[in-house]
Amino acid sequence: MIQVIASCQNKIIKHCKSLQTKKYRDSTNEFLIEGIKLLKEAIESNVKLTALLYHNEAAKDRDVQSIIKMCMEKNIVIYELHEKPYMDISETKTPQGVIGIGKKIDYNVNKLLRSNRFNIIIMEQVQDPGNVGTIIRTADAFGFDMVFLSKGCADVYSGKVIRSTMGSIFHIPIITDVSLESLLKKFIDLEVYTIAATPHTGLSCYDIEYGDRNAIIIGNESKGLSSNIMDMVKIKANIPMVGMAESLNAGIAAAIMMYEATRYKLKHR
């Protein structure tokens, strides 16, 4: 049964508004998924949806009808919203008329790290949502196995990050609020080849000989990697540049590093 909501004071509208804050997302383990493509990706990736909300005018759209049908088949609670309550919770400039409430995915890190071969990308305090989303999307594109984010990174479950991943957030395990010191200590025992991306020092990224288990670490946009992390990695690597720019955007640097790791893997498989 579809419930109709006409008021912004409805409790589900207030719940959605609260989900726009990290604190509430963390306390409820839920997040918002807005847009046709992202919702389809979430449903097809078996993300658990607790509710679907759609604008009453959007019900005329075939894609929205398809999403409503899929949610009905899964017995997901569905709400039809009037203009004001829908616009009150929408976070996009050009709303597509459909929003889902999803449950965060809980990954078993120890199980993921048991694999004999993997490529991992790690972010230390990467704070720009666009950079975080781009790095996740690129990791997905280049077949990386996991993404780790330290405390202080942009929240992967914020609307901006989710939209910039273009659905990749649902394709690859993402572990957040990680203590990188503890993780790198574990990597020593697991014989993971840890590579710190640096602006100018270290080995050229084109000369790295990757192992079976690799972890590339990208630092904060302005400060780079912290000294304690730099002291714990096996090698430091840079991206050779011939122009006048002093450095690359964190998302671009991560993309080049990940591409090189994937290219090496394809060449030596």
Instruction: Please say if the pLDDT value at position 269 is more than 80.
Output: no
Is the pTM higher than 0.85? The answer reads yes
Taking every pair of C-alpha atoms in the chain, what is the biggest distance, in angstroms? 62
Q: Of the candidates 96, 109, 76, 80, which has an alpha carbon nearest to the alpha carbon of residue 6?
A: 80
What's the pLDDT tens digit per position in 214-238?
A: 999 999 998 999 999 999 999 999 9
Instruction: Please say if the pLDDT value at position 213 is more than 90.
Output: yes
Residue 207 CB contacts under 8 Å (≥ 6 apart), including other chains: none
Are β-strands 146-150 and 118-123 bridged in parallel, bridged antiparallel, or unpaired? Answer: parallel
Q: How far is CA 188 from the centre of its chain?
A: 26
Q: With bands split at pLDDT 50, 70 and 90, how would you rate the model's confidence at 246?
A: confident
Domains and CATH numbers, the chain: 2-103 (3.30.1330.30), 109-267 (3.40.1280.10)
Instruction: Please say if the pLDDT value at position 192 is more than 90.
Output: yes
The string over 62-88, giving b where at least 16 C-beta atoms fall within 10 Å of a residue's C-beta and e elsewhere, is: eebeebbebbeeeebebbbbeeebbeb
Q: How far apart are CA 37 and CA 164, in angstroms?
A: 12
Q: With bands split at pLDDT 50, 70 and 90, how would you rate the model's confidence at 245?
A: confident
CB-neighbour burial class of residue 24 (10 A; exposed 0-12, middle 13-18, buried 19+): middle
pLDDT of residue 5: 96
What's the pLDDT tens digit per position in 36-90?
A: 999 999 999 999 999 999 999 999 999 999 999 999 999 999 999 999 999 999 9
pLDDT of residue 180: 96
Instruction: Please say if the pLDDT value at position 199 is more than 90.
Output: no
Dihedral sign from CA coordinates of 80, 82, 85, 89:
positive
In percent, the amount of the chain with pLDDT more than 70 equals 100
The Cβ of residue 229 has, within 10 Å, a number of other Cβ atoms equal to 20
Q: How far apart are CA 230 and CA 17, in angstroms?
A: 40
Average pLDDT estimate for 23-28: 97
